[in-house]
Amino acid sequence: MSDENDIDEQPMSAEDEAVLNEELTKHREEGTIDPLIATKIAQSNLKSIVEIETNLSKPIPPRLLKVFTAGPAKGLSYIHWLTAQKFLSLYAPGWSSRITLIQPVGDELGGGVVVGVEISIPAQEGLVTRGNVGYKTYKTGREQKDTGFGGAALVAQRQAFKRAAAEFGLARGLYEK
């Protein structure tokens, strides 16, 4: 995941989504998910936040990572926001998210938008909520078409979502590189 605000991730292709689903199924079948945790997930029992964070902090399989091919983040790895959602669903069933802030900064000729997102995870200790923000600049002139799918606010929201998930450990290693 990159903090570069002028880089947009591409929509997840059907092929990439199939790879993600295959990887998660393989992960379950190979027993890399602790059987006790898998049983708890199946029974919808709540796990401790430490257990959830431990699982979310596991390295993301390299084949599920994307790499920026242009711009200031060229060569940096990131995960698609749908991948983040699926890992949350795997390790933190019952999670939810909400937008907490949509704040224009500057104007459309020289500004952007800040979006805040909180993710809440039900755990044995209660509902644990963490959040973060994302930022995306507005494009101007000929660059207006390059704001990413859904525009600046959606790009900032996805960035904020992935950052909030990283607060629980998901793909945190990508931020540390």
Render the burial of 20-45: b for 16+ CB within 10 Å, e for the rest: beebbeeeeeeeebeeebeeebeeee
pLDDT at residue 9 in the model? 54
pLDDT at residue 34 in the model? 53
Output DSSP code: residue 67.
Answer: E
45, 78, 146, 153 from 137: Cα distances, Å: 42, 19, 10, 9
pLDDT tops 50 at residue 2: no
pLDDT at residue 6 in the model? 42
Q: What domains lie within the chain, and their CATH numbers?
A: 14-176 (3.30.390.80)
Instruction: Read off the pLDDT of residues 7-26 as tens digits, 9 standing for 90 and up.
Output: 445 555 667 666 666 666 66
Query: Angle at which helices 81-91 and 151-166 pack, to 10 degrees?
Result: 40
The two three-digit tokens of residue 163, written as one number: 């950052």
Task: Work out the average pLDDT over 4-9.
Answer: 47
Beta bridge partners of 135: 114
Whether the CA torsion 30, 121, 168, 158 is positive or negative: it is: positive
103, 141, 147 from 108: Cα distances, Å: 13, 10, 12
pLDDT at residue 85 in the model? 95
Instruction: Read off the pLDDT of residues 35-91 as tens digits, 9 standing for 90 and up.
Output: 555 544 444 578 999 999 999 999 999 999 999 898 888 888 999 999 999 999 999
1, 13, 126, 172 from 156: Cα distances, Å: 13, 20, 29, 18
pLDDT at residue 43 in the model? 44
**What CA–CA distance (Å, rounded) separates 135 from 159?**
7
Instruction: Read off the pLDDT of residues 101-135 as tens digits, 9 standing for 90 and up.
Output: 999 988 756 789 999 999 999 998 889 999 999 99
pLDDT at residue 109 in the model? 67
